[in-house]
Amino acid sequence: MAEKVVLAYSGGLDTSVAVKWLKEKYSLDVIAVTIDVGNERDFSAVRQKALDVGAIKSEVIDAKELFVKYFVFPALQADAVYEGQYPLATALTRPLMAKLLVDVALEEGAAAIAHGCTGKGNDQVRFDVSINALAPDMKVIAPAREWGMTREETIAYAKKHGIPIPVTVASPYSIDECLWGRSCECGVLEDPWVEPPDDAFTWTKSPDQAPNKAQYVEIGFEKGIPVTVDGQEMEGISLISRLNELAGSHGVGRIDHIENRLVGIKSREIYEAPAATVLLQAHQALEALTLTKDQMRFKQEVATECADLVYNGLWFSQLNRDLSSYVLSSQRYVTGTVRVKLFKGSCRVVGRKSPKSLYNLSLATYDKGDKFDPSAAEGFIHLWGLPLKTQAQVQLLGDKEGPFSILPLKGREED
């Protein structure tokens, strides 16, 4: 009996060709595993297609709940956004997929795991590294990285082996979707000067065609996790879906990112992430109300670190585990409600409240009821400015050029 390989199967051209190719090249029987992370497909058709193209077994795993609970919400609590732009949709799905593929591979006694990534992207790194971390002895095969076929050759291979060519092959774009966002690249988007055409977007209305009337939405958070929309309790999957629809209909969540890939190249990706955009903004607004200045500053550093870890395929690292404990702890009082205004592509926080708010009106107000003691400011300023004053007395600040050239240069020669 032939050895088995577990293939991450999307139903697209490359993974369909991979089913045949793995048999031809490695004499492996393919078990196709399709993982549903909210990419709204006809999964029963995908499952059947894997069998039709030669898999010995095909299964679909609904991973939406796991995805939201263990990947999306922790990333939201961390405020993880890569390079200040990308909310990490695709990148967050990979470690979960790796985990589920490893589970199946061990259960089936498979000799290897295969995925459809090419040799140019980040996803190959995320899959390989995550699988290796979870099952160090497992062989990983990336057919599309190995076979060296061009797009045309892959299509020809498919035709030769009677593999149906998906209609999506006609699409000029490479697309990846999950609940947290849609990633779109290739085609005309490869020219960074070209404005993304309308057909690059499917989740969001063009802002100029969005309603002329603004819409308000209130998000309730409990310990950094969104739990209500407009006062109505919702569980994660439907809450995110609802916000994707709502914010998307107002043209919110379009991101045009020239990003630095892990493999050393810059690439241009168009993201649509309506729910992520709203939730990240709202969450940060609530943190601004409930965390101190020092907590926020430190947490921003952690956020960058977390985003890089996720992007760079290091989810299953001890560092990520350590940071996630910090993030979780930081969310103890991030509870409250944020009001967001959606209007023609923009999403603005216009209100926030929390039972654990650190905003103290009697300290902040310029009106009646002011409890702030301005006389304490005098002594504070004296000490705060003391190092500067001391320095100014002995060291000259003026310069010959630049912003400090407006200051006197007297005595400069003696410096």
Q: Catalytic amino acids? A: 14, 94, 123, 174
103: part of which helix (H) or strand (E)?
helix 89-108
Binding segment (CB under 6 A) for ligand ARG, from list 173-181, 199-207, 312-320, 326-334: 173-181
Binding segment (CB under 6 A) for ligand ARG, from list 119-127, 138-146, 285-293, 319-327: 119-127
Q: Which parts of 78-107 interact with ligand ARG (CB under 6 A)?
A: 90-91
Closest C-alpha among 30, 20, 39, 37 to residue 57: 30
Q: Which parts of 30-49 interact with ligand ARG (CB under 6 A)?
A: none
- Alpha-carbon distance of 99 to 2, in angstroms, equals 24
Binding segment (CB under 6 A) for ligand ARG, from list 5-13, 171-179, 205-213, 350-358: 171-179
Of 182 and 205, the one with the shorter C-beta distance to ligand ARG is 182
Distances (CA, A) of 52 to 17, 141, 164, 300: 12, 22, 9, 49
Q: Binding residue for ligand ARG (CB under 6 A) from 183, 244, 281, 324?
A: 183
Where do we find the tokens 């585990």?
Answer: 321
34: part of which helix (H) or strand (E)?
strand 29-36
184 binds ligand ARG (CB under 6 A): yes
* The two three-digit tokens of residue 402, written as one number: 């630049």
Closest C-alpha among 50, 52, 95 to residue 72: 95
Residue 257: CB minimum distance to ligand ARG, A: 8
Of 202 and 405, the one with the shorter C-beta distance to ligand ARG is 202
Residue 262: CB minimum distance to ligand ARG, A: 8
User: 35: which strand partners?
Assistant: 61
Of 83 and 195, the one with the shorter C-beta distance to ligand ARG is 83
Alpha-helical segments (H) within 291-350: 293-311, 318-330
Using an 8 Å Cβ cutoff, are 314 and 88 in contact? no
Binding segment (CB under 6 A) for ligand ARG, from list 95-103, 132-140, 174-182, 325-333: 174-182
Kindly state the number of chain residues that form the binding site for ligand ARG, as judged by CB under 6 A.
Answer: 12
Of 220 and 313, the one with the shorter C-beta distance to ligand ARG is 313
Closest C-alpha among 194, 201, 197, 159 to residue 177: 201
* The two three-digit tokens of residue 389, written as one number: 């004053």
Radius of gyration of the chain (CA): 26
Q: CB under 8 Å to 262, separation ≥6 — which residues?
A: 122, 125, 311, 312, 313
176 binds ligand ARG (CB under 6 A): yes
Residue 241: CB minimum distance to ligand ARG, A: 21
What letter would DSSP give residue 179?
T
217 binds ligand ARG (CB under 6 A): no
Residue 32: CB minimum distance to ligand ARG, A: 19
269 binds ligand ARG (CB under 6 A): yes
Of 105 and 200, the one with the shorter C-beta distance to ligand ARG is 200
175 binds ligand ARG (CB under 6 A): yes
Distance of CA 216 to the CA centre of its chain: 24
Of 224 and 248, the one with the shorter C-beta distance to ligand ARG is 248
- Extended strands (E) in 89-212: 112-114, 139-141, 174-178, 181-185
Residue 68: CB minimum distance to ligand ARG, A: 18
Distances (CA, A) of 36 to 60, 237, 252: 7, 12, 24
Of 280 and 349, the one with the shorter C-beta distance to ligand ARG is 280
177 binds ligand ARG (CB under 6 A): no
Interface residue list for ligand ARG (CB under 6 A): 90-91, 121-123, 174-176, 183-185, 269
